[in-house]
């Protein structure tokens, strides 16, 4: 798996971290990440999936206002992480095709519908399949010179770095 510590410490950029990565590497890294997430939840029981932990520091500034202070369940964490990586994969596909990124490409399974470990496994395997499918849709010669800047602090990134951005979110 990639070590995102230098990027998080701002001693390395995403572009530098991803400079030598290939599409084959992205397939492998996807499998490593999904396998890691499956290993983390290996001993989970159904009651763990929608257990709401006590988290006095909960502060979801991106969520809906009435859920801003709500601690996240395991189900919420999994559907959010997979949605973020799938969005990164979709935007990476757009860049690989040489097209500009315009807006978001995100769908998140409603977390309140996830109650079982089987649903977590299904969501993770579905996400694996979707990420691989989006990588498989890249042209044989991807347009790695096409970039955009998702956030000023990240700087310009290409398709490979955009895909890895999702893996970084999974890892966080």
pLDDT in tens, 71-122: 899 999 999 999 999 999 999 999 999 999 998 899 999 999 999 999 999 9
User: Lowest mean pLDDT: which of 86-100, 126-140, 148-162?
Assistant: 148-162
With H, G, I as helix, E, B as strand and everything else as coil, classify residue 112: helix
Domain boundaries, the chain: 5-171
Band (66; pLDDT cuts 50, 70, 90): confident
Q: What is the CATH number of domain 5-171?
A: 1.20.120
d(CA 11, CA 40): 28
The mean per-residue pLDDT over the stretch 51-70 comes to 83
- Measuring CA to CA, how many Å separate 81 from each of 9, 16, 49, 91, 147? 21, 24, 15, 16, 23
Give the pLDDT score at 68.
80
d(CA 172, CA 168): 6
Give the pLDDT score at 17.
96
The mean per-residue pLDDT over the stretch 125-149 comes to 98
């Amino acid at each position: 798996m990639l070590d995102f510590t230098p990027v998080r410490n701002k001693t390395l950029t995403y572009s530098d971290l991803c400079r030598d990565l290939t599409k084959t590497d992205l397939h492998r890294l996807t499998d490593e990440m999904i396998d890691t997430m499956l290993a983390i939840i290996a001993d989970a029981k159904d009651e763990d999936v929608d257990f709401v932990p006590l988290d006095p520091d909960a502060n979801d500034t991106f969520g809906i206002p009435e859920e801003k202070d709500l601690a996240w369940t395991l189900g919420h964490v999994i559907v959010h992480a997979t949605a973020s990586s799938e969005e990164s994969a979709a935007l990476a596909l757009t860049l690989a095709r040489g097209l500009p990124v315009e807006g978001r490409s995100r769908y998140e399974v409603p977390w309140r519908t996830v109650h079982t470990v089987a649903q977590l496994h299904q969501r993770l395997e579905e996400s694996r399949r979707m990420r691989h499918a989006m990588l498989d849709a890249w042209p044989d010669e991807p347009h790695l010179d096409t970039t955009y800047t998702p956030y000023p602090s990240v700087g310009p990134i290409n398709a490979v770095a955009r895909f890895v951005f999702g893996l970084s979110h999974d890892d966080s």
